[in-house]
Chain A
Amino acid sequence: MKERVYKVISQVFNVPIEKINEESSSDNIEAWDSLKHMNVVLALEEEFNVQFGEEQILEMLNVGLIIEILKEIV
């Protein structure tokens, strides 16, 4: 799962995959604004064939939290 999440993040933010880790967030990825955040959500929903709850969408503050949320619903 982790690799697939990293791949999505890398593609949406156009950042090399080796620079992504669980601490990656809007604080250290410059392109991570509110619109790109929604692109991440939609890309993850497509990749994992899931639908996030509204609160979960807003709780995805870093890659580690994204993985945790995904583990709950996949």
Chain B
Amino acid sequence: MVKIERAQLEHFEDIYKLLLSFKYTRNTKNDWKNLFKDHFQSEKNYYGYILKDGKRIVGFINYLFAKRKFNGKVVTFCNIGSWIVLEKYRNKSLSLLVPLLRLKDCIFTNFTASKTVYKILKTLRFKEVDDDFIIIPPIPGISFLEIFKSDTRILFGGRVKKYLNEDELIIYNDHSNPEFKCKHILLKDSMGTCYIIAKRAYRNKVPFLHIHYVSNSKIFSEHAGILRVICPFYFKVFSIIVDKRFLGSEKINNVITYNLQSHRLCKSNLSYPVDNLEKIDHLYSEFIILDI
């Protein structure tokens, strides 16, 4: 008989055998194991659900919980990912989503939905968020000269900390686990600061700097000329990629716009309307824990 139960660390070895069938992944066993830790103080004691046929695990979905401040309130987030079910049991796949829909007061996200998952989540009333992204190639323009202005600075790693506000410092601490390999960047000028969190990521075997969080889209856009030259050199990547929605209405010149093959979706079942959900970043998601 096929049934579902909560995924715990003790199931990891069996689940890992399933996860190995994901193609094109650069994740190590330890990366996958990181999905089975409560990194973000969620106080949940499980990591998704497994589908079992007798004692054999035949399916898994990861629920990555986090408590984070969003629009000024602390909210539970649940990022859904790594959904895998053996072909023979695909008629039971949806049962892994049943507990998710019963969770109260939660914001759900999925940033890597395949066509199938996209259709399922859309039918379950998830909303699409803009999944265009832009490549900012290292073309030095005149704006690069801003680096020589005395009031414009770019800082990396732990040096950014002293310029972060209280909320940003929480984000920094939550994303500074060395196993996540996050890159912390700060742009500072006379108008203020822009805190950026990014990771090295490979697209078609080419290394990029994938930006997952931008605290100030205006400062980011204004100083894109600095980022596009300094970051590829500093992080040894070909170029920068960033989801277009992180920039709001700001524009950057000389970029290439792409549409993703995977989709980004989200849904809130909070008791109050949530503003700016369509601009949700990738913090506290599988993008941070895994090598995606």
Contact = CB atoms under 8 A, between A and B. Distances in A.
B92 A26 contact: yes
A37 B124 contact: no
Contact of B91 (A32, A38, A54): A32
Contact of A54 (B93, B116, B119, B125): B125
A-side interface mostly? helix
Interface residues of A, number: 14
Which of B92, B95, B102, B123 lies at the interface centre, i.e. has the most chain A CB atoms within 10 A of its CB?
A: B123
Contacts of A27: 91
Interface in A7-39: 26-27, 32-35, 37-38
B98 interface: yes
B252 interface: no
Interface in B61-102: 90-95, 97-98, 101-102
A57 interface: yes
Contacts, number: 35
A55 B97 CA distance: 10
Contact of A26 (B91, B124, B125): B91
A27 B98 CA distance: 18
8 nearest A-B pairs in the assembled complex, by CB-CB distance: A26-B91, A34-B93, A33-B90, A38-B123, A54-B101, A34-B94, A58-B98, A54-B124
Interface of A: 26-27, 32-35, 37-38, 41-42, 54-55, 57-58
Given A26-B91, A38-B119, A55-B98, 9 more contacts: A26-B92, A33-B90, A34-B91, A34-B120, A37-B94, A38-B120, A41-B123, A54-B101, A58-B98
30 contacts: A26-B91, A26-B92, A27-B91, A32-B91, A33-B90, A33-B91, A33-B93, A34-B90, A34-B91, A34-B93, A34-B94, A34-B116, A34-B120, A35-B119, A35-B120, A38-B119, A38-B120, A38-B123, A41-B123, A42-B123, A54-B124, A54-B125, A55-B101, A55-B102, A57-B123, A57-B124, A58-B94, A58-B95, A58-B97, A58-B98
